[in-house]
Amino acid sequence: MSGTKLADEIGTTRSEVWRLIQQLRQLGVDVAGHPATGYQLRAVPDLLLPDVIAPLIQGTLFAKHIHHYYKIDSTNTAAMEAAAAGAPEGTVLFAEEQVAGRGRGSNAWASARSTGIYCSVVLRPALPPAEVLILSLAIGLAVHSAVREINPGVSPDLKWPNDVLLDGKKVCGILTEMNAEPTRVRHIVVGIGINVNQTSFAADLRDRATSLKIATGTEWSRVELAAALLKFLDREYRALLQAPRAAEPILRRFSQNSSWVRGREVTIEENGDFTGTTDGLDERGFLRIRTGSGVRTVLSGTVRAT
Ligand code: BTN
């Protein structure tokens, strides 16, 4: 398309079009040509843009308030601020790149540009804080379903509470943060980081992290996966809020899709490490560990293979 036509369509000048094209290229959009020849979009960019995602998730809780950032510190930080300022339930923040992506504990989350999905959603469930763990287990199930919808040949493993693994390495992490009173949740932000098309990781992550591309050998559409993710999040969330005994099927499905929940020798890094064998989830979603001195219940902390 010629620069003049583009300029007419968006009501600007040809030189402004040239400036915008340069900016798009810097953001990774593959545009060929120059002012004399006109421009050609070589490939539809796999960007998590609201106009692209919204039509794919019509009817879900998340279709109406999607925000997209090319670069941000952390979508979770921004979503917590937005939630405190009154952002509606179902608000979604996507980023192409995070410069201060946060993981659980004090870990960082590697968030290289346009290779992963970095997403945070704002929820306002009428749940007591004690039931939020069940919600975060359900989010892991939503990621599991989304990945399998795009490629049914992939079988991710869920590691309590919130990791999704492929080939024993982490492909997705979930960071749930909340603002609550003792008996009532004000808002929750669920942050989901999925390693999608990374082809390598920094030396300190290489042994522990993988991506869908590394695990399957093919490039994945982030747009398709992000849409599937929001669709399954919507499904899990509604089911959890609507059914009075919704925790039971969530715990059952989590256990079915996890090689970690039962019979696994693990070390728990809590306040002081201890080792034992996993012995299922209790009715609140906590992990039971059989140790030499009896069964212990893990309320938080990191589970590692011994
Ligand atoms: C973990 O440590 O396993 C949790 C990682 C969560 C990363 C996601 S990426 C989107 C959102 N924004 C953040 O800063 N963190 C979460």
Cα 259 to ligand 1 centre (Å): 23
Q: Is the pLDDT of residue 70 over 90?
A: yes
105 and 132 belong to one structural domain: yes
User: Could you tell me if the CB of 92 is within 6 A of ligand 1?
Assistant: no
State the Rg of the chain over Cα: 21
Together in a domain, 190 and 297: no
Q: Is 213 in the pocket of ligand 1 (CB under 6 A)?
A: no
Is 66 in the same domain as 145? yes
Our count of domains for the chain comes to 3
Does residue 211 share a domain with residue 73? yes
Separation in Å, CA 301 to CA 25, 80, 165, 173: 43, 22, 17, 14
**Does ligand 1 have an atom closer than 6 angstroms to the CB of 102?**
yes
| Residue 304, token pair as written in the block | 């590692």
Q: What is the number of the ligand 1 atom nearest to the C-alpha of 95?
A: 10
- The H-or-E segment that residue 238 falls in is helix 222-242
Length of the chain: 306
Q: Are residues 105 and 130 in the same domain?
A: yes
pLDDT digits (tens, 9 = 90+) for 19-31: 999 998 987 788 9
Binding site membership of 257 for ligand 1 (Cβ less than 6 Å): no
Q: Which atom, in ligand 1's list, is nearest to the CA of 102?
A: 14
Q: How far out from the chain centre does Cα 272 lie?
A: 29
Please, are residues 175 and 191 in contact by the beta-carbon 8 Å criterion? yes
Domain match, 238 and 264 both? no
Give yes or no: residues 140 and 271 share one domain.
Answer: no
Q: Please tell me if the CB atom of residue 69 comes closer than 6 angstroms to any atom of ligand 1.
A: no
Same domain, 93 and 64: yes
Tell me which residue range forms the domain holding 227. Answer: 50-255
pLDDT, tens only, 121-147: 999 999 999 999 999 999 999 999 999
Distance of CA 250 to the CA centre of its chain: 18
Interval between CA 212 and ligand 1 midpoint (Å):
17
- Mean pLDDT over 230-237 rounds to 98
Confidence of residue 68 (pLDDT cuts 50, 70, 90): very high
Verify whether ligand 1 is closer than 6 Å to residue 80 (CB atom). no
9-37 average pLDDT score: 93
- Closest to 76 in 3D by CA, of 96, 100, 52: 100
